[in-house]
Structure 1
Amino acid sequence: MLLKTFGWSAAITIAGLVGGFLIGGPSGLAIVAILIVLEVSLSFDNAVVNATILKRMNAFWQKIFLTVGILIAVFGMRLIFPLLIVCLTGHVGPIEAIDLAIKGGDQETPGTYAHMLHDAHPSIAAFGGMFLLMLFLDFVFEERDLQWLRPIERPLAKIGKLDQLSVVVALLVLAVVSQTLAKEPGTVLFSGILGLMTYLLVGGLGDLFESQGEDDDDAAAGDDDAERSVATKAGDTAAQAPASKGVGTTAGKAAFFLFMYLEVLDASFSFDGVIGAFAISQDIFIIALGLGVGAMWIRSLTVYLVRQGTLDDYAYLEHGAMWAIGALAAILLISIKHEVPEVVTGLIGVGFIGAAYLSSLVRNKRIEAAGGQVEHLGG
Structure 2
Amino acid sequence: MLWKTFRWAFAVTAVGLVGGVLYDGWAALGIVAILAVLEISLSFDNAVINAGILKKLNAFWQRIFLTVGILIAVFGMRLLFPVVIVSVSARLAPQEAVHLALTDKERYQELVTDAHPSIAAFGGMFLLMIFLDFILEDRATKWIGRVERPLARLGKIDMLSVCVALVVLLATAMTFATQAHQHGGHHADKAQTVLVSGAAGLVTYLVVHGLSGFFEARLEREQGGEEDGEAGGGRSGVALAGRAAFFTFLYLEVLDASFSFDGVIGAFAVTNDIVLMALGLGIGAMYIRSLTVYLVRQGTLDDYVYLEHGAHYAIGALAAVLLVSIRYEVNDIVTGLIGVTLIGAAFWSSVRLNRATAG
Give the TM-score taking structure 1 as reference length. Answer: 0.89
> Shift of the alpha carbon at 1:221?
5.9
Write the distance in 1 (CA, Å) between the matches of 2:139 and 2:4.
Answer: 35
Secondary structure of 1:279 counterpart: coil
Question: Which of the numbers 101, 109, 114 marks the counterpart of 1:119?
Answer: 114
Which residue of 2 is the match for residue 11 of structure 1? Answer: 11
The CA RMSD over aligned residues, in Å, is 1.4
Which residue of 2 is the match for residue 148 of structure 1? Answer: 143
Write the distance in 2 (CA, Å) between the matches of 1:293 and 1:364.
Answer: 34
Q: 1:361 to 1:221 in 2, by over 3 A?
A: closer
| Count of equivalent residues | 345
> Shift of the alpha carbon at 1:308?
0.1
Matches within 5 A, 1:134-145: 134-145=129-140
Deviations 1:248-275 (A, max 9, x none): 3001101111111011111111101101
Which residue of 2 is the match for residue 58 of structure 1? Answer: 58
Q: Is the 8 A contact 1:104 1:282 kept in 2?
A: no
Does structure 1 residue 100 correspond to structure 2 residue 100?
yes
Write the distance in 1 (CA, Å) between the matches of 2:225 and 2:345.
Answer: 43
Q: Is the 8 A contact 2:215 2:243 kept in 1?
A: yes
Does structure 1 residue 45 correspond to structure 2 residue 35?
no
Write the distance in 2 (CA, Å) between the matches of 1:104 and 1:114.
Answer: 9
Which residue of 2 is the match for residue 167 of structure 1? Answer: 162
Write the distance in 2 (CA, Å) between the matches of 1:278 and 1:181.
Answer: 22
Write the distance in 1 (CA, Å) between the matches of 2:272 and 2:81.
Answer: 16
Which residue of 2 is the match for residue 218 of structure 1? Answer: 224
> Shift of the alpha carbon at 1:245?
8.8
Which residue of 2 is the match for residue 350 of structure 1? Answer: 340
Q: Which amino acid aligns with 1:76?
A: G
Q: Is the 8 A contact 1:131 1:195 kept in 2?
A: yes
> Shift of the alpha carbon at 1:215?
2.0
> Shift of the alpha carbon at 1:213?
1.2
Which residue of 1 is the match for residue 212 of structure 2? Answer: 206
Write the distance in 1 (CA, Å) between the matches of 2:347 and 2:216.
Answer: 30
Q: Which amino acid aligns with 2:302?
A: D
Which residue of 2 is the match for residue 80 of structure 1? Answer: 80
Question: Which of the numbers 253, 277, 283 marks the counterpart of 1:293?
Answer: 283
Q: Is the 8 A contact 1:51 1:305 kept in 2?
A: yes
Does structure 1 residue 133 correspond to structure 2 residue 123?
no
Does structure 1 residue 365 correspond to structure 2 residue 355?
yes
Write the distance in 2 (CA, Å) between the matches of 1:78 and 1:294.
Answer: 10
Write the distance in 2 (CA, Å) between the matches of 1:304 and 1:203.
Answer: 24
> Shift of the alpha carbon at 1:154?
1.0
Larger Rg over CA atoms:
1
> Shift of the alpha carbon at 1:114?
1.1
Q: Is the 8 A contact 1:104 1:283 kept in 2?
A: no
Question: Which of the numbers 173, 176, 179 marks the counterpart of 2:174?
Answer: 179
Identical residues among aligned pairs (%): 61
> Shift of the alpha carbon at 1:145?
1.1
Which residue of 2 is the match for residue 372 of structure 1? Answer: none
Question: Which of the numbers 219, 242, 262 marks the counterpart of 1:272?
Answer: 262
Secondary structure of 1:287 counterpart: helix
Which residue of 1 is the match for residue 71 of structure 2? Answer: 71
Does structure 1 residue 308 correspond to structure 2 residue 298?
yes
> Shift of the alpha carbon at 1:247?
3.7
Write the distance in 2 (CA, Å) between the matches of 1:89 and 1:330.
Answer: 23
> Shift of the alpha carbon at 1:150?
0.9
Does structure 1 residue 35 correspond to structure 2 residue 30?
no
Deviations 1:270-328 (A, max 9, x none): 10110111111111010000001100000000000000000000000000000000000
Which residue of 1 is the match for residue 180 of structure 2? Answer: none
Q: Is the 8 A contact 1:128 1:195 kept in 2?
A: yes
Give the TM-score taking structure 2 as reference length. Answer: 0.94
Which residue of 2 is the match for residue 332 of structure 1? Answer: 322
Secondary structure of 1:67 counterpart: helix
Q: Which amino acid aligns with 1:74?
A: V
Which residue of 2 is the match for residue 248 of structure 1? Answer: 238
Question: Which of the numbers 187, 197, 200 marks the counterpart of 2:203?
Answer: 197
Which residue of 2 is the match for residue 377 of structure 1? Answer: none
Q: 1:316 to 1:220 in 2, by over 3 A?
A: closer
- Structure 1: give runs of 5+ residues left out of the alignment: 107-111, 226-243, 370-379
Secondary structure of 1:197 counterpart: helix
- Range with greater deviation from structure 2 (18-27 or 318-327): 18-27
Secondary structure of 2:268 counterpart: helix
Q: Is the 8 A contact 1:178 1:189 kept in 2?
A: yes
Q: Which amino acid aligns with 2:220?
A: E
Write the distance in 1 (CA, Å) between the matches of 2:347 and 2:227.
Answer: 39
Q: Is the 8 A contact 1:104 1:284 kept in 2?
A: no
> Shift of the alpha carbon at 1:94?
1.2
Q: Which amino acid aligns with 2:243?
A: K
Q: Is the 8 A contact 1:321 1:349 kept in 2?
A: yes
Which residue of 2 is the match for residue 235 of structure 1? Answer: none
> Shift of the alpha carbon at 1:22?
0.8
